[in-house]
Chains A and B, each alone.
Chain A
Amino acid sequence: MNKLTSVQDLNALRAKLVADRNAIKKSVSVCLGTGCRAYPSAAVADAFAEQVKKHGLEKDIVIRRTGCHGFCERGPMAMIFPEKICYFQIKVEDVPEIVERSLVNDEVVDRLLFEDEATGKRIAQQHEIPFYKLQNQIVLGNNILIDPKSIDDYIALGGYSALAKALSDMDPIGVLQEVKKADLRGRGGGGFPAGIKWETTRNAPGEPKYVIVNADEGDPGAYMDQAVLEGNPHSVLEGLILGAYAMGSTQGFVYVRQEYPQATQHIGIAIEEAKKYGLLGDKILGSDFNFEVMIHQGAGAFVSGESSALMTAIEGMVGEPRPKYVRTAVKGVYERPSNLNNVETWANVPLIINNGSDWFRSMGTDGSKGTKIFSLVGKVKYTGLVEVPMGLSLRQIIFDMGGGIRGGKKFKAVQTGGPSGGCIPEQYLDTPVDFDELSKMGSMMGSGGMIVMDENTCMVDVAKYFTSFLADESCGKCVPCREGLRQLKRILKKITDGNGEETDLQLIEELGGFMHDASLCALGQTATNPVMSTFKYFKDEYEAHVKDKKCPSCVCQALTTFYIDPEKCTACGMCFKQCPTDAILGDKKVVHIIEQEKCIKCGTCFNVCPTRFSAVVKIPGTTAPAPVPFGTKAKKSSKGDK
């Protein structure tokens, strides 16, 4: 690896790499993102390598171990180039057939293609699959084409050309203006315009200035930053270098959470390789611009994603927010001007420099430009990462791309923006998704988590879950956040335990307003969003818990009763045998009965009752219909189920 000392060197290297790439007949991209690895896709990739070797095709076929392709629900997946055939749910045993038919020959293995449930048709090409159809993967798209451990792959696809363009044709102000003109808003939560933040740091007094990547993604169910950092680390790094050039910074940090070992490893390799090529260090590409990057691993705290807490952690102290009313863009790490942006924000920067701000502004809505990656999870049929232009409706994302709700259930709400976000009900499904619209609905964009909930979800229980998460993750420094969350958690537990009083509902409302106004940092100020948004849209559920002592979704055990439907019971004896408290009376050919006073509501009977009978039912509330007299003959026979 020779150091590149000029833009011409980089272009020459790229020309050679592209020629090498074009000389390859076929390639396979196997997804080795964290989702697919769990299946495990590493064994699938190894099987590909082994089979290709067996056929003696090592020189003609490249096996690429790539980052996340997005459609995690159908992993492990692989794509065959140049035909761009997508195979899903590949098992190690399927690999010899794929190699034989799709790599050695030019056939398609039909059974491993995506099957459209509506039409029953098999779809070979990625962009025709409903999950991908509406996507515009400007950030995630290259994941499938590059080995994240190889800088050459990134350069072959035009990587570092934005840096070359900036260093040879643009001055730092020019880069800053382009980002500002693009209206790139921070993808990490608040949606603050990145260009304005950059300008503040650039103009703030004090040297050195720091630029930082925030990869402390800690929202439950969100993993888009992980996918970008794992799958295309150089795009983040190039964005960071461009930012440093624009702001006059010489030192950068990547703050990556310790729970992301693969992302940490890949960005580490990326930094080392960039150094070897002279894309980091002194006199980058022969210019006067010097820049270094260090990795800082977080120690596992959600609050460290908050800018001042993150910077305190970089200084080596406990990651707690600072009470100062001076922005970190002016006084951050070691009291120096420090610019912090999220992984996805940085990854957009090279694209803006290469394609221009007009191109970027052509996507999205009036107030939110470009695309956004969402992690579509929960009770939706197709889970995974989707990158869509801003302004698509929630309905398009959840139903058209995500395939709707799993198991034919009804949609109830979608939780966006992580623990500090809110739950959005059905009547707002057609709202376009952008920063401002989500805030108007009492939720937020956050970093892009999207948790879909079906009719079997209790919204009070959801609020309790997020409140408990935040009570554990709050730093505990300021009274409103610490004590407020302690009490909110306590009140919600009381309500779900069936002991709620009407005054509790008023307390929730009061605490919500108080914590929003008085907390020290954004975590505390937004910590009540899950409670307040469910309170706003699902107040009837809170009231059912408190006034009627019923959990309408039958989730809260204390407010749910189990009952055996005498019309459906076939006396199969499954529940009778497995009830841990002997609360079920039963005999051969006799309708089974639950003795309510002995029942601990563990749900075992409900789970073991064969679905073709579904005789055990959950009833909201604490009273069950009077049981039939013991000894009543079962109407149907279970036929051999005994």
Chain B
Amino acid sequence: MKDVTFKIDGSDVSVAEGTTLLEAAKSIGIQIPTLCHHQDVESAGVCRFCMVEVKKGNRTRLVASCVYPAEQGIEVQTDTEKINSVRKMILELLLPVAASGPIKALAKKYGIEKSRFEVAKEEQTHCTLCGICVRYCDQVTQEHVAGFVGRGVKRKVALMAEKGDQCVFCQKCYDLCHGGRFIEIAEGFPEIL
């Protein structure tokens, strides 16, 4: 496979064609923060936390680095004021929905004391809908127990109760969950498994 050369934060990088910007950055020691990325499953590009600025020709735009393939000659910036404001906004939006430990810690790191947003009680699902559990259940364990139901603001992760017996042995989603949904379930209703 062909190699492509481009710049990340001013440094030259050379990677195989098809490598994502996230992986390319990692290869030279630049860590781009992520929420919905997990090394064992395919990238979904849904949390938008890993967005970086890509300059191609005269045009600069924000792209999700976990799915954007490296291109010859582009210039990538991973830490600009604009990127920072996007990440802060994502955290501010997620905080009222899923105020779990990891999200709170990240928010603190980005200097957010309190989100300016609120949601109704029933919308506090403790889930960021990152979908790592769903993709892991589909792609790695291949049990297909976890899935998404609903659309728009009503979207949520659901488990297929009929397949619950498989979960007793796996429970991998508990370890993977950073939003706190599974932790909440485990604390509140340990008997469901």
Contacts and interface: CB of A to CB of B under 8 A. Distances in A.
Interface of A: 301, 303, 318, 323-326, 470-480, 482-487, 489-490, 503, 507, 510-511, 514, 517-520
A442 to B, nearest CB: 19
Contacts of B150: 476
A471 B45 contact: no
Interface stretch (B1-9, B26-34, B61-69, B167-175): B61-69
Contact of A479 (B46, B116, B151): B46
Nearest to A507: B116
A490 B119 contact: yes
Contacts of B85: 514
B151 A483 contact: no
A503 B114 CA distance: 15
Most chain A C-beta atoms within 10 Å of own C-beta, residue among B69, B119, B153? B153
Nearest to B86: A518
B79 interface: no
Given A323-B64, A325-B63, A473-B152, A518 B48 contact: yes
A475 B116 contact: no
B109 interface: no
Nearest to B120: A490
A482 B123 CA distance: 12
Given A477-B46, A483-B93, A519-B48, 18 more contacts: A325-B68, A470-B152, A471-B152, A472-B151, A475-B155, A476-B148, A476-B152, A476-B154, A477-B155, A478-B45, A479-B47, A479-B93, A479-B94, A480-B89, A486-B123, A490-B119, A517-B61, A518-B90
B12 to A, nearest CB: 22
A518 B94 CA distance: 15
Given A479-B128, A487-B117, A510-B89, A520 B152 contact: no
A476 B153 contact: yes
B67 A474 contact: no
B129 A482 contact: yes
B145 interface: no
Given A490-B119, A517-B62, A520-B48, A323 B151 contact: no
Nearest to B89: A514
A520 B155 contact: no
B94 A475 contact: no
Contact of A474 (B45, B49, B116, B153): B153
A490 B49 CA distance: 23
A477 B130 CA distance: 8
A487 B68 CA distance: 28
B118 A490 contact: yes
A323 B44 CA distance: 7
A483 B94 contact: yes
A518 B46 contact: no
A479 B48 contact: yes
A485 B123 CA distance: 14
Most chain B C-beta atoms within 10 Å of own C-beta, residue among A301, A486, A507? A486
Contacts of B153: 471-472, 474, 476, 482, 485-486, 489
Interface in B128-182: 128-129, 148, 150-155
B151 A476 contact: yes
B128 A518 contact: no
Contacts of B62: 517-518
Contacts of A325: 63, 67-69
Nearest to B63: A325
Most chain B C-beta atoms within 10 Å of own C-beta, residue among A303, A323, A472, A474? A323
A475 B152 contact: yes
Contact of A472 (B51, B61, B152): B152
A490 B68 CA distance: 33
B72 interface: no
A523 to B, nearest CB: 10
A480 B48 contact: yes
Contacts of B69: 325-326
Contacts of A511: 89
Query: Which 4 residue pairs are nearest across A and B when measured between Cβ atoms?
Result: A323-B45, A476-B155, A483-B93, A474-B152
B84 interface: no
B97 interface: yes
Nearest to B54: A325
Contacts of B116: 503, 507
Nearest to B115: A487
B19 interface: no
Contacts of A483: 90, 93-94, 97
Contacts of B148: 318, 476
Most chain A C-beta atoms within 10 Å of own C-beta, residue among B43, B44, B150? B44
Most chain B C-beta atoms within 10 Å of own C-beta, residue among A477, A479, A485, A520? A479
B152 A323 contact: no
A486 B119 CA distance: 8
A326 B68 CA distance: 9
Contacts of A482: 129, 152-153, 155
Nearest to A476: B155
A485 B47 contact: no
Interface in B69-120: 69, 82, 85-86, 89-90, 93-94, 97, 116-119
Contacts of A486: 119, 123, 153
A303 B97 CA distance: 24
Interface in B6-42: none
A478 B48 contact: yes
A520 B63 contact: no
A517 B95 CA distance: 20
A482 B98 CA distance: 14
A474 B151 contact: yes
Nearest to B49: A479
A487 B51 contact: no
B25 to A, nearest CB: 16
Nearest to A506: B116
Contacts of B151: 301, 303, 472-476
A478 B46 contact: yes
A472 B119 CA distance: 16
B67 A324 contact: yes
B45 A520 contact: yes
A15 to B, nearest CB: 53
A475 B150 CA distance: 8
Nearest to A517: B62
Most chain B C-beta atoms within 10 Å of own C-beta, residue among A473, A483, A489, A503? A483
Nearest to A319: B151
B46 A520 contact: yes
A324 B18 CA distance: 12
Most chain A C-beta atoms within 10 Å of own C-beta, residue among B63, B89, B118? B89
Nearest to A323: B45
Contacts of B129: 476-477, 479, 482
Contacts of A480: 48, 89-90, 93
Contacts of B64: 323, 520
B92 to A, nearest CB: 9
Contacts of A324: 45, 67
25 contacts: A318-B148, A323-B43, A323-B67, A325-B67, A326-B69, A472-B153, A472-B154, A473-B152, A476-B151, A476-B154, A478-B47, A479-B46, A479-B129, A480-B93, A482-B152, A482-B155, A485-B152, A507-B116, A511-B89, A514-B89, A518-B48, A519-B48, A520-B45, A520-B48, A520-B64
